[in-house]
Copies of this chain bind each other. A is one copy, B any other.
Amino acid sequence: MPIITLTTDFGTKDHFVGAVKGAIYNELTDVRIVDISHHVTPFGITEAAYILKNSYQNFPNDTIHIIGVDSEISVENRPIAIELDNQFFICCDNGIISMITNDINPDKIVEITIHNTGDKKFSILDAFVRVACHIARGGKLDVVGKQIDEIKKLYEIQPLVNAEENKIVGSVIYIDNFGNVISNISEKTFNNVGKGREFEVVARNYTFKTIHKKYNDIVDYSIPADKRQDDGKKLAIFNSENFLEISMYRSNLKTVGGASSLLGLDYRDNITVRFL
């Protein structure tokens, strides 16, 4: 059974998500629809890229991903469909695909042309759903668009390395449900540049000498549980997606606060690794 996923900035209160699902089920009786996220910040293509980058590979081959973020079609924001890493992505050509993958070249890119027939305003319903259902039925990309070679490239998700190769200057690309602050510095980049040297991670005026593998690495289990005071301790960690993250142990963004609120780290702020 084909899988169509949805990643949007529509929220889950309004009718938009229901309308899209209804339209898909109206075309295909045998399909799974999976919500990846509908709470992307409005027009937040970096966020949407981070979310998809860290989830799409778990899905089976041939999964079709609809991205409804910054998807009003214009002369500068053309609808595209892409075959990439054995999966399909349908979105606007606003740079999001270049942030989802840095290493993998798309197998095929088409500019969607079937949306030109009507006067509907809602691009997702007008074009994306029809393209997704076409692919789900085993249809070819060429039928719904014309092949193109280039898509818009954005590199916001990439950190910078200085000429001396002793410093990685990254930035905050995502703040998660726990207030964890996630940088664009991958463990791979860290290892490639650092080559095993000593280091310090600097985020605002906080410095970290260790990057942990698990959150509870900081807990000393030899101390009795009721004597420990680990909750709220700050730490640097390579998270489950292998990005450098600043976290506070067992924090709660809505009550006591998380790393983002307590350390004052926001989207786009710098996070730097200095090798010594």
Contacts and interface: CB of A to CB of B under 8 A. Distances in A.
A84 interface: no
A15 B41 contact: no
A55 interface: yes
A13 B74 contact: no
Q: How large is the interface on A (under 10, 10 to 19, 20 to 34, 35 or more residues)?
A: 35 or more
A177 B14 contact: yes
B252 A41 contact: yes
B25 A60 contact: yes
A7 B22 CA distance: 13
Nearest to A77: B216
A76 interface: yes
A51 B14 contact: yes
A89 interface: no
A34 B22 contact: yes
Contact of A25 (B34, B215, B250): B34
Interface in A1-18: 1, 3, 5, 7, 9-18
Interface string A20-39: 11110110010010111111
A227 interface: no
Nearest to A53: B15
A251 interface: yes
Contacts of A25: 3, 32, 34, 59-60
Interface string A219-259: 10100010000000000000111000000001111110000
Contact of A240 (B37, B121, B178, B252): B121
A128 interface: no
Task: Pick from A17, A38, A53, A58 the residue with the most CB of B within 10 Å.
Answer: A58
B50 A15 contact: yes
Contacts of A53: 15
A186 to B, nearest CB: 14
Interface of A: 1, 3, 5, 7, 9-23, 25-26, 29, 32, 34-43, 50-60, 63, 72, 74-77, 119-122, 125, 176-178, 213-216, 219, 221, 225, 239-241, 250-255
Which 9 A-B residue pairings sit nearest by Cβ, starting from the closest? A22-B58, A11-B177, A18-B36, A122-B240, A13-B39, A22-B59, A18-B55, A15-B54, A15-B55
Given A7-B18, A12-B37, A43-B250, 13 more contacts: A9-B177, A12-B38, A13-B176, A15-B241, A16-B177, A18-B37, A22-B57, A25-B60, A74-B214, A74-B216, A74-B221, A76-B225, A119-B213
